[in-house]
């Protein structure tokens, strides 16, 4: 555990005092902080190697291209993809889902076809499919949850029909922390010949992902939620799907040859990386993943589990706090409400006590509504958080209660 506690020193932002004490950053589900190695590598590459990738014949371009492609290999290994060309760089989870939704629909979705989502999806795994449904006159069906926030996976058997073309669901809820049994969903889907997209925005940084073992068809995540830079993301897709997809965006790098009559598209992965990508950010994303690999990711995961259990235990001791969702398997995201105190007011007061939490609907309005509320206070932990910070949060929640009473 001491080793993990030392890692906190790698994150300069956490040494900052906003009002009176070091900031307590509990908004990790929105974005994670960056270690020195990630910050420094961006500076280093801009200072020494900045040059556009893939097209140059000079030293700088070669160097940048090598580092960019090296990140693809790092990610291939990190998620255990079969081929590195199954790793497509995007700007984030949102773009990855839009890419799959658009391309998949172009090829496979027709009028009256069905797309299955869950009620706990982030808007970025709802709206792209809604756009598809509108364009193609298709239908969206939704897997419900029980009151504890467990996904009712058995309902899938009632929802699937011969018109079901794809299932897209989150691995971990960004609001209530439920860890969905995606392996079971994938097995049921595949036994009906239906592909599955997994939104890994909240799982890639907290669990070990093996896309071959899961056998998912698509797995997407954002770089900024795994200690990397904003504007970077990944779409993993099985080769058979990505090869078959039409292109998503047209532009440089995604072509083999262009005439005014016709374009021959590039092969994977460049077919989906049109234009100048955030190559410097992608290099730094590789550094972020190396940081986790170097610091024993399994230990990090174990520590986060202990921290989460402690948070739950401490919060449950407070009789004015109501936890929203108590799923059987959960991650380090905990949402709650306070008796007669609006989540927004509580969040503002906590901020003044140097605690950063998120309040509101967390871009998951259907889920929030299903609990009959309009928002929560969300605490989301990362390995650089401590048990002391959780104690401090509970003290501050008591002060919030006193203030409003
Ligand atoms: N899905 C989930 C489950 C998320 O938590 C988020 C970010 N809050 C997203 C998708 C969207 O990620 P991004 O904004 O990085 O594209």
Q: Tens digits of per-residue pLDDT, 11-34?
A: 999 999 999 999 999 999 999 999
Specify whether 247 is located in the same domain as 342.
no
pLDDT digits (tens, 9 = 90+) for 248-257: 999 999 999 9
396 is catalytic: no
- The answer to whether the CB of 32 is under 6 A from ligand 1 is no
Do 195 and 240 contact (CB within 8 A), yes or no? no
What average pLDDT does the segment 272-287 reach?
Answer: 98
Give the integer Cα–Cα distance in Å for 252 and 81.
26
Give the integer Cα–Cα distance in Å for 227 and 289.
8
pLDDT at 384 > cutoff 80? yes
Beta bridge partners of 88: 235
pLDDT digits (tens, 9 = 90+) for 53-62: 997 899 999 9
- Specify the residue with its C-alpha closest to ligand 1, atom 5: 174
Do 277 and 231 contact (CB within 8 A), yes or no? no
Q: Work out whether strand 114-118 and strand 355-356 pair parallel, antiparallel, or are unpaired.
A: unpaired
Structural domain boundaries enclosing 80: 40-293
Mean pLDDT (the chain, rounded): 97
245, 273, 293 — which closes off a domain? Answer: 293
Q: Is the dihedral of CA 140, 145, 151, 156 positive or negative?
A: negative
Question: Model-level pTM?
Answer: 0.98
Number of domains comprising the chain? 2
Do 180 and 169 contact (CB within 8 A), yes or no? yes
Q: Which residue has the tokens 């235990």?
A: 313
Specify whether 111 is located in the same domain as 253.
yes
Q: Rounded to the nearest whole angstrom, what is the distance from the C-alpha of residue 383 to the centroid of ligand 1?
A: 19
In a domain? residue 35: no
pLDDT > 70: percent of the chain: 100
Residue 340, class by beta-carbon neighbours within 10 Å (0-12 exposed, 13-18 middle, 19+ buried)? exposed
Which pLDDT value is given to residue 273? 98
pLDDT range class, residue 260, cuts 50, 70, 90: very high
Specify whether 361 is located in the same domain as 240.
no
170 CA closest ligand 1 atom index:
3
Specify whether 100 is located in the same domain as 181.
yes
- The answer to whether the CB of 98 is under 6 A from ligand 1 is no
How many whole angstroms from its chain centre is CA 122? Answer: 10
In a domain? residue 312: yes
Which pLDDT value is given to residue 2? 82
- The answer to whether the CB of 179 is under 6 A from ligand 1 is no
Question: DSSP string of 6-45?
Answer: HHGGG-GGGG-BSSSSB-EE-BTTT-----HHHHHHHHHH
244, 263, 293 — which closes off a domain? Answer: 293
- The answer to whether the CB of 201 is under 6 A from ligand 1 is yes
Specify whether 108 is located in the same domain as 255.
yes
Phi, psi of 111 (to 5 degrees): -55, 135
How many whole angstroms from its chain centre is CA 38? Answer: 18
CB atoms within 10 A of CB 21: 11
């Amino acid at each position: 555990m001491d080793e993990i506690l030392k890692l906190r020193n790698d994150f300069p932002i956490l040494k900052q005092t906003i009002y009176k004490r070091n900031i307590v950053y509990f908004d990790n589900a929105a974005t994670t902080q960056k270690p020195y190695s990630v910050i420094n590598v961006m500076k280093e590459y801009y200072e020494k190697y900045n040059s556009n990738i893939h097209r140059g014949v000079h030293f700088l371009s070669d160097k940048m291209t090598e580092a960019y492609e090296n990140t693809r290999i790092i990610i291939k290994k990190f998620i255990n993809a079969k081929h590195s060309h199954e790793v497509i760089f995007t700007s984030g989870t949102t773009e990855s889902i839009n890419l799959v939704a658009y391309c998949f629909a172009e090829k496979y979705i027709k009028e009256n076809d069905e797309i299955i989502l869950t009620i706990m999806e982030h808007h970025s795994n709802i709206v792209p499919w809604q756009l598809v449904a509108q364009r193609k006159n298709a239908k969206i069906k939704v897997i419900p949850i029980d009151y504890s926030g467990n996904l009712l996976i058995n309902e899938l058997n009632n929802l699937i029909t011969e018109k079901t073309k794809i299932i897209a669901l989150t691995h971990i809820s960004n609001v209530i922390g439920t860890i969905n049994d995606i392996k079971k969903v994938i097995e049921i889907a595949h036994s009906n010949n239906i592909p599955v997209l997994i939104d890994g925005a909240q799982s890639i940084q907290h669990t070990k992902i093996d896309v071959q073992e899961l056998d998912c068809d698509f797995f997407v995540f954002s770089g900024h939620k795994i200690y990397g830079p904003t504007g970077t993301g990944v779409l993993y897709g099985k080769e058979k799907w990505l090869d078959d997809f039409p292109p998503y965006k047209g532009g440089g790098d995604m072509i083999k040859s262009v005439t005014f009559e016709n374009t021959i598209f590039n092969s994977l992965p460049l077919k989906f990386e049109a234009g100048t990508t955030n190559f410097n950010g992608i290099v730094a994303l590789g550094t972020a993943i190396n940081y986790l690999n170097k610091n024993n990711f399994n230990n990090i995961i174990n520590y986060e589990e202990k921290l989460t259990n402690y948070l739950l235990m401490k919060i449950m001791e407070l009789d004015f706090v109501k936890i929203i969702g108590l799923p059987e398997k959960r991650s380090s995201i905990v949402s709650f409400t306070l008796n007669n105190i609006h989540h927004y007011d509580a969040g503002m007061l906590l901020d003044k006590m140097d605690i950063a939490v998120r309040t509101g609907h967390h871009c998951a309005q259907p889920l929030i509504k299903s609990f009959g509320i309009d928002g929560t206070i969300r605490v989301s932990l990362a390995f650089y958080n401590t048990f002391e910070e959780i104690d401090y949060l509970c003290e501050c929640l008591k002060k919030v209660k006193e203030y409003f009473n």
